[in-house]
Structure 1
Amino acid sequence: MRYLKDQNDRGYWGEPASEFWDMVFPLCEEHNIPFVPIDWFELDVWNAFDPFNGYSGVERKELEQRDDHWFAEQMETYQFGEIPFNSKEFDRVTRQKYEWLHQVNAKAQNFRWVVRNQIMVQRVKNTIEAHPGKRILCIVGADHNYIFQEELMLEPVELLYPLR
């Protein structure tokens, strides 16, 4: 949403990703395509819901290493599908990663993952409703793919996923 207020505001934590500045925003501007932001997180509370809060020392280090291991497993799926990280294999590993994070800290996982995705999917549904019959390109980080697919398959839309 920052982009809509100030096209020079590059956000925080690399959000949005550089691809938005290099490709998405220029395309939208050139072709007068509406850009509707859907991502959600609030920095004033985000760190309070770190999934490893409550863990310290060796235990926290082990959890962080396991989290790194999950990321490595996700990266190993690059060879599946026509587009890296756009496959059922990636989605399977990603779902397992977030189920593990739920076991580690259910409260943090609910805030950072479940609620965040509910808000994001609802914003997509609102966009679909606001633009009936129009084609919509929804760009999200690959970790969100499996949730968006599950939720949007329930809507009266033609969903193209994984991309070909």
Structure 2
Amino acid sequence: MDKHDKGYWGEPASEYWELIFPLCEERNIEFVPIDWFELDVWNDFDPFNGFSEEQRKALEKIDDEWFAKQMNTHDVGSIPFNSDAFDEMTKQKYEWLDQINPKAINFRWIVRNQIMIQRVKNTYHSNPGKRILCIVGADHNYIFKEELINEPIELIYPLR
């Protein structure tokens, strides 16, 4: 990994380099990456592809409104973006996006989360009895909870 390539598309993001990797190194904690996306085809699955410029702008405006609705729930719990209210709003947003472009959402959201969740399962299966901290972007929380709640683990979410 290139330590100078930080940011959203310079994966991993800066908080990994500044917070997570140093903590793992300091405490001898194994880091297992779980995120998945393929940058060479990512933009080919933009949910607003195939729409006219006017339609795209209208859809992007609605998408911005969904983001604002999400942000309005950021402080519902004791930890920002870590609540059932945020998760429900986020789930509704992705259901809307699925109505707009199911093929794109399948690739960018559903399959991506399936791969990420399977990597979490592989991690706890290969580390029986150990505590695992799984760090994902807040939009992923609801789907991770839905998929992991019935697993043979103690899932602590929302965080307290």
Q: Look up the match of 2:154.
A: 158
Which of 90, 103, 106 matches 1:107?
103
**Root-mean-square deviation over aligned CA pairs:** 1.4
Q: Look up the match of 1:22.
A: 18
Q: Residues 44-55 of structure 1 correspond to what in structure 2 (within 5 A)?
A: 44-55=40-51
How much does 1:16 deviate?
Answer: 2.4
Q: Look up the match of 2:68.
A: 72
Q: Look up the match of 1:61.
A: 57
Letter matched to residue 131 of structure 1: N
Letter matched to residue 156 of structure 1: P
Letter matched to residue 109 of structure 2: W
Deviations 1:48-101 (A, max 9, x none): 000000102211100000011111111110220000110000000000000000
Q: Look up the match of 1:126.
A: 122
Q: TM-score, normalised on structure 1?
A: 0.93
Count of paired positions: 160
Greater Cα shift, 81-90 or 17-26: 17-26
Q: Look up the match of 1:87.
A: 83
Letter matched to residue 77 of structure 1: T
Q: TM-score, normalised on structure 2?
A: 0.95
Q: Look up the match of 1:34.
A: 30
CA distance in 1, matches of 2:53, 2:5: 37
Q: Look up the match of 1:140.
A: 136
**Structure 2 stretches of 5 or more lacking a match?**
none
Alpha-carbon contact 2:117-2:147 (below 8 Å) kept: yes
CA distance in 2, matches of 1:14, 1:70: 26
Alpha-carbon contact 2:82-2:159 (below 8 Å) kept: yes
Letter matched to residue 137 of structure 2: G
CA distance in 2, matches of 1:29, 1:7: 15
Which of 87, 93, 99 matches 1:97?
93
**Structure 1 stretches of 5 or more lacking a match?**
none
Deviations 1:7-48 (A, max 9, x none): 555376253232211110000011111100000000111110
Amino-acid identity (%): 72
